[in-house]
Structure 1
Amino acid sequence: MKQAPVLTERDMKRVLQHVARGSFPARNRCALMLSWLAGMRVAEIAALKLSDVYAPDGTIRAEIQLAPEQTKGSSARTVLISTQLRSELEAYIKTLPASPAPDRPLIVSKTGKRFSANGLCQVMLHIYDAAGLDRATSHSGRRTFITTLAHKGVNVRVLAALAGHRHIGTTQRYIDLNENVLRAAVEMI
């Protein structure tokens, strides 16, 4: 089975430029950033409520506590919010109607309803396709998150915890190796 490709910085800029010119730019950017900057699965993103991300005082939570029914494998997990993702989420909340209900889905369809995992997956596929990345999938962001951290030297056990994987072997399959990474490794000698 062919894995979703890892996105380059250039790919991500291209996608964001396309999103900025398209329909629902704030919503789509937010969904992509949750994938790219937190490694969330598309089903987890689709399952988010505003209260999962925003505290009652309107601030961004330091972490997202996913309930078992929001995750793959029905195991609760914690998603940490980076400084960059916090900025993205702060910008997104400003685009929402004043005082939205806390139980409202974070990411809504054009009809204002919660996306199914498949529905949000289709949106991401369309965005990648329209931006000229026809091989990218909704899983590309998650693979990019894990691979980027691995290339920066983050330990595979830490990566597994961040990804919500029970086994490091699963995490290792996400990490993309290329000639540049291999060359940099031998130059460390």
Structure 2
Amino acid sequence: MKQAKLLTPAEQKRVYAVIDAHRYSVRNRAIFAFSFFAGLRACEISALKVGDVYDADRVVRDTVYLNANQTKGDQANTVLVSKRLSKALSVYAAAHPSHVSSPNAAMFFSAKGGGFTAQTIVNLFARFFALAGIKGASSHSGRRQFLTDLADKGVNVRVIQALARHKDISTTQRYIDYNESKLRNAIELV
């Protein structure tokens, strides 16, 4: 199985420029933020409810609790909310205050009404990557980028495994990308 492409900084800028040119840019930035800053899968993003993310005062929670029916592995899990993710979610709440006041509503709404399905999230990622001229990227690119960036910053693989919500560390290791430049930098540490 081919792995989802990691984005270069220039490609990330292109994607966000395309998102910002879109009618629902704040919503789409928040969707991308869940993938790139928390490593959520498309099925997990689509399963989120407003109350999972915001408290009664519309303040972003510091931890999102995923029920078993919201995850790939059918096991409840927690997602820690970083400052970058929190910022994107705060902007989303400010742009859509009436929507985020309904705790049982789907976190992300479509223009046609109702929440997004996992396939809609996958299609959204594919659309923005295509518009940005990026081949090989998918809805899983953000998750892979999140885990690889953590590894590049020296985070222990066991910690990355916990953040990825993987049962087996070998699964986590497959997500982490390396190249000759990273290998050369590593040997210079000795």
- How would you bin the TM-score normalised by the shorter chain? over 0.9
DSSP-derived class of the 2:79 partner:
strand
So what's the TM-score if we normalise by structure 1?
Answer: 0.97
Q: What is residue 141 of structure 1 aligned with on the other side?
A: 142
So what's the TM-score if we normalise by structure 2?
Answer: 0.96
Superposed counterparts of 1:29-48, under 5 Å: 29-48=29-48
Q: What is residue 70 of structure 1 aligned with on the other side?
A: 70
Q: Distance in 1 between matches of 2:178 and 2:97?
A: 43
How much has 1:123 moved relative to structure 2? 1.0
* Runs of 4+ that moved beyond 6 A: none
Q: What is residue 115 of structure 2 aligned with on the other side?
A: 114
Q: What is residue 89 of structure 2 aligned with on the other side?
A: 89
Q: In structure 2, what residue type is equivalent to 1:181?
A: K
How much has 1:23 moved relative to structure 2? 2.7
Q: Distance in 2 between matches of 1:162 and 1:112?
A: 32
Q: In structure 1, what residue type is equivalent to 2:64?
A: I
147-156 or 98-107, which moves further after superposition? 98-107
Gaps of 5+ in 1: none
Q: Identity rate of aligned residues, in percent?
A: 44
Q: Distance in 2 between matches of 1:46 and 1:109?
A: 11
Q: Distance in 2 between matches of 1:142 and 1:46?
A: 15
| Count of aligned pairs between the two proteins | 189
Q: In structure 2, what residue type is equivalent to 1:93?
A: A
1:16 aligns with 2:20: no
DSSP-derived class of the 1:113 partner:
coil
How much has 1:64 moved relative to structure 2? 0.3
Q: In structure 1, what residue type is equivalent to 2:32?
A: L
Q: What is residue 103 of structure 1 aligned with on the other side?
A: 104
Q: In structure 2, what residue type is equivalent to 1:171?
A: T
Q: Distance in 1 between matches of 2:76 and 2:170?
A: 20
Gaps of 5+ in 2: none
* Aligned alpha-carbon RMSD (Å): 1.0
Change (3 A) 1:97 1:90: closer
